Chains A and B, each alone.
Chain A
């Protein structure tokens, strides 16, 4: 192992741990936020930090000025090279900085317009915003138009003398413009901090942090007749498997570091195989890949069963037994479901599976039944609603009845981590991992079969960053779907759970194996099928891309739809109280 591998491994561990723990923490918050938002009640945002004005101003301005300073330094330290006109990297830098400037500008202006129209405008500029612009939506439309105009403008002047003379200027001016916009927005935001202090609520995120802090300082209770050692070890057994499973999940393509390839364009075919100069975006590059995951996630049952046994409590024991039988039952389906996927992907390595999905079609199109079976079984493995019988807080309190403080917190957090882990697996196996439709190692190539519709070159670094962002974005989305499932479905009865596992999911997964094997044999023995399948695979990529664009457009249109509420609906008792002059309590006399 050379120094590069050592450093990159440590960095990758830090990245995966940081992102996953962050998603886990955000999920605990999201769980409450979501429940309050859909039931239209006060969410978990009671925890408030009142920051003094100087601190709030510093917190607003300092990071923005750091970013702006870094951008200015970047612009100063890297002057435009002689070959700026032909360089893909230069074009990318100019476009990204310009687009980001437009983005920061319109987001800031829209927020400012919303503020100016809602409350009284503070100065002449805000008065102009409130009277002339009137609606934040207008700023959004203008910003969108500016974004869209930048792209045809680039194509229009490409190759002309104007482009040749403009490019070296914009190469420096782009970062400078972004720095100015960021600094100006931060300064204005800092000037808006009221003199009474800034109330930092962060939509309830502080509440989650406060809860975590509380857990650490709470009493650590061990039952008198419980097994002290096992009682203490069990939470670690619960927390360990979901974390260690993530080691083999790839979150990006191989990153080539040799000879300035990062800043340039690499060819789409051929993977840089030299381990001395390339970094795999995967903490642990194992040949057995998916089997390691089964071995580790199978160990998750030990934590719950031990907790139930060591607590010396009948309800804990019931919860532990339920957890053990449920997780073992669904482990079978989980494993058999993936056999079909192995047959198709022809590998056990997760990064090869993702590559296969990029070259052909995402797993959800190849193995649709397996996707649903795996999703159901993985949800059952996380021991959450509708499969939360081991906990079942309304019947038995669950295997962690006798746990308090951070030990309980570890079980609780392990559940959320299991959501992240199962989502990461689902994304890797069935939703294309870090693949975006039509995004290849050399950039964006929209092609169906052999006809190339569009090719747009991108540098290796931006492709890799986009892939990493794609993977974690997909994980967050699937986590959200799991949260929605939790808030939608009621809990199964225990016999229903067992029947679903053994009599529905298991036969279906076996049938899936048989059908998949026959289909693969048929395809391999018929010579013309490969071309048709390749075209179909490209079509699925087109479908995914179109669906993504449609979803974003629909979301934006829907969010922009104006809503007017005549009044806030109050309960009749509140109206009565208001008529009486309110029931606000006098301050406590003690």
Chain B
């Protein structure tokens, strides 16, 4: 039991009325005076606050009493990157736009096996395979893409096509991101455009070796010997 005498403040505090009445802390009610309800003085007050900030900041900038925010953002030591004047470097394995790698003679390395378009979860790759012409050593052994189309708007940049490719023919190592175009059909990349892209070193080929038809390591050589 509390033996301490009550403080004078507690004694003089108003006691709650008996027999009903609201007991507890009185909450401030919303101000419904005419000046608030008619909006106009309150709007004027709000506009005053806003104009105060506006004029103060404008004056300071116009009279050069503070640094120009644009030029300041370009100063060293500011941790905001001012794109596009400054660019954050992409990491080594950044998945950018696709490119089609080439063989040494400049023809596409792709053999039109449709592995990438099958693996693609967004179904953004369309390939039309074609046979090499009569007399080409590769005819009957591997095909080439007559058309190779990637819809970069559908693409989700998952990289499954690169994983699926058995020939290292499609890669995403251009280090470039999609460009804003004016219309949708400009986002549909065709074979020639994809072949024209290079990796970050400006290389159109890939470093993974591949044996071509005259090479002794070409797997089709036995087949030629057997059936040709």
Query: Is A372 interfacial (CB 8 A cutoff)?
Result: yes
Query: Is A4 interfacial (CB 8 A cutoff)?
Result: no
State whether A565 touches B66 (Cβ < 8 A): yes
Query: Is A225 interfacial (CB 8 A cutoff)?
Result: no
Give residues 175-222 of B contacting A (CB, 8 Å): 175-176, 182-184, 200
State whether A589 touches B89 (Cβ < 8 A): yes
Query: Is B77 interfacial (CB 8 A cutoff)?
Result: yes
Give residues 92-133 of A contacting B (CB, 8 Å): 114, 118
B22 to chain A, nearest CB (A): 30
Contact of B67 among A39, A568, A577, A583 (CB under 8 A): A568
State whether B65 touches A582 (Cβ < 8 A): no
State whether B184 touches A582 (Cβ < 8 A): no
- Tell me whether A485 and B47 are in contact in the complex, defined as CB-CB below 8 angstroms, given that A37-B58, A217-B182, A372-B40 are known contacts: yes
- The answer for the CA separation of A37 and B77 in the assembled complex, in Å, is 24
- The answer for the CA separation of A201 and B74 in the assembled complex, in Å, is 15
Query: Is B9 interfacial (CB 8 A cutoff)?
Result: no
Query: Is B72 interfacial (CB 8 A cutoff)?
Result: yes
Give residues 51-74 of B contacting A (CB, 8 Å): 51, 53-55, 57-61, 63-67, 69-70, 72-73
State whether B67 touches A585 (Cβ < 8 A): no
A556 to chain B, nearest CB (A): 11
Q: Mark B69-102, 1 if CB is under 8 A from A, else 0.
A: 1101100111101000011111000000000000
- The answer for the CA separation of A586 and B73 in the assembled complex, in Å, is 16
Residues of A within 8 A of B90 (CB): 588-590
State whether A38 touches B89 (Cβ < 8 A): no
Give residues 147-180 of B contacting A (CB, 8 Å): 174-176
- The answer for the CA separation of A219 and B58 in the assembled complex, in Å, is 37
Interface size, chain A (Cβ < 8 Å): 43
Give the interface segment out of A40-48, A240-248, A282-290, A420-428.
Answer: A40-48
State whether B77 touches A582 (Cβ < 8 A): yes
Query: Is A573 interfacial (CB 8 A cutoff)?
Result: yes
B94 to chain A, nearest CB (A): 9
- The answer for the CA separation of A34 and B184 in the assembled complex, in Å, is 35
Interface class of chain A by DSSP: loop
Residues of B within 8 A of A564 (CB): 65
State whether A218 touches B182 (Cβ < 8 A): yes
- The answer for the CA separation of A581 and B69 in the assembled complex, in Å, is 20
Query: Nearest B residue to A481 by beta-carbon distance?
Result: B47
Give residues 467-485 of A contacting B (CB, 8 Å): 481, 484-485
- The answer for the CA separation of A408 and B183 in the assembled complex, in Å, is 16
A500 to chain B, nearest CB (A): 9
Query: Is B140 interfacial (CB 8 A cutoff)?
Result: no
Known: A42-B73, A481-B47, A488-B50. 5 other contacts (CB 8 A): A45-B70, A559-B63, A578-B78, A588-B89, A590-B90
Q: Write 21 A-B pairs (CB below 8 A) sorted by A numbering.
A: A37-B54, A37-B61, A38-B50, A38-B53, A39-B53, A42-B69, A219-B182, A481-B47, A485-B43, A488-B43, A563-B65, A573-B79, A578-B78, A584-B78, A584-B86, A585-B87, A586-B89, A587-B89, A589-B89, A590-B174, A590-B200
The 8 closest A-B pairs by CB, nearest first: A590-B175, A582-B77, A577-B79, A38-B54, A219-B183, A578-B77, A38-B53, A588-B87
What residues make up the interface of A, taking CB atoms closer than 8 Å to B? 34, 37-43, 45-46, 114, 118, 201, 217-219, 372, 481, 484-485, 487-489, 558-559, 563-565, 568, 573-574, 577-578, 581-590
